[in-house]
Amino acid sequence: MIDALRPSLPIGRISIMIFSRGVPWFPYDDIEILSPFPSKMREIFDGMITMLSLGRISFTKSGKRFIEAINESDAVIHAPGGPSIGDIYRGGLSSYLYLYRLFFARIIKNKPIFFYAPSMGPFTNRFDNLARRFLLKRASAIILREGISARYLEEQLDLKSIVTCDSALQNVIPDGYLDRYDNIASILKTIEEKRVIGMTVTDLRWHPVLGKDIALSIRIKEAISGAIGQLLEKGYDILLIPQLFGDDTDIPLLEQFKELNQERIAILPDNVDSYGQQILMSKLHSIISLRHHPNILAAKGRIPFLSISYEYKMKGFVDQLGLPELSMNVEEITAQKIIDKFQYLEDNYLSISRALEDRMPDLERLSKKTTEIIAEMIRNGILR
């Protein structure tokens, strides 16, 4: 999003509020990272004060800087992500705290707000929907990355949207990008010499709904362990690719699977960013992923993938590709079902690769539309 918007608009400054805990670094020295607000109890009280005072009064450092950032902004963008507006991640007080930031920007400070290709919904709580619809109806543009979210929005909130595709598809990675990493030489050598499958794993303990199902978490670990064992027997090596960082890092989880075979299972260092990961994925045999964006990046590299889906955003993408057979539901996970799906991938490897070659250019152009629409609206002052 950042790298696409910058050449499209005369941007002077960007401030971002990141909700991951303990962010260790951010790859842009000229972008301000705002502290999540409100997140602590005293900040929740402060948020009420800022609202009632129409942004004139705040008692906390993070609240004051949040107000300043909104005051200084020309537009506010809700960046790509999961369905953070909707019933899955938030309901009740949590929903209002999340909407507060956008409500403050749009209603209190009259700033235009844009939704830059996230997922949304479902919207089944009628009381929560009053606030959601009130805010979303006043957005300058609601652009979504898949049609399932658009159907939720139209059928449950009676609001229209524009459907494009995941924004991660729009960027061209500079040549020589991997030269900045001095700790992946052995991994690159293995990829050149052997058949390597990339895997991303989550036990979903963080998930607001599925995380309550401890039995599912155990089944996921057992299924992944069993599938890795069978893939090693088939002659593949495994590259485990981290997706989380800071206090939420998934490296400890990946280390549990590496113990299955220290020689033939590697973990990609977590300093390799998403651009670096894209290049590496394009060199792999295939991807098996319990996370959303590795599926996106695999398809971008024309690499066959198996999506183990825990949310509809993942199904939405394989539907856009016209390859629903590459997806399975996480709640049905077993080692054998993973291997059966992978066997399908093996048996149809060339046809899947050709399908990706045929269909990805259109989705990549569609991904760029998000930037084009928002940039044109800002340039032309179409900010209702």
What is the three-state SS of the chain? CHHHHHHHCCCCCEEEECCCCCCCCCCCCCEEEECCCCCCHHHHHHHHHHHHCCCCCCCCHHHHHHHHHHHHCCCEEECCCCCCCCCCCCCCHHHHHHHHHHHHHHHHCCCCEEEECCCCCCCCCHHHHHHHHHHHCCCCEEEECCHHHHHHHHHHHCCCCEECCCHHHCCCCCCCHHHHCCCCHHHHHHHHHCCEEEEECCCCCCCCCHHHCHHHHHHHHHHHHHHHHHHHHCCCEEEECCCCCHHHCCHHHHHHHHCCCCCCEEECCCCCCHHHHHHHHCCCCEEEECCHHHHHHHHHCCCCEEEEECCHHHHHHHHHHCCHHHEEEHHHCCHHHHHHHHHHHHHCHHHHHHHHHHHHHHHHHHHHHHHHHHHHHHHCCCCC
Average pLDDT value for residue range 105-109: 95
Does residue 382 carry a pLDDT above 70? no
Cβ-contact 138, 119 below 8 angstroms:
no
Model confidence over 307-317: pLDDT tens digits? Answer: 999 988 888 89
Does residue 92 carry a pLDDT above 70? no
Tokens 């993408």 belong to which residue?
Answer: 317
pTM, two decimals, is 0.91
Does residue 276 carry a pLDDT above 70? yes
Q: What is the mean pLDDT of the chain?
A: 92
Domain ranges of the chain: 2-170+365-379, 181-361
Average pLDDT value for residue range 62-82: 92
Average pLDDT value for residue range 5-13: 93
The structural architecture, per CATH, of the domain 181-361 is: 3-Layer(aba) Sandwich (3.40)
Does residue 25 carry a pLDDT above 80? no
Average pLDDT value for residue range 118-131: 91
Model confidence over 207-243: pLDDT tens digits? Answer: 888 888 999 999 999 999 999 999 999 999 999 999 9
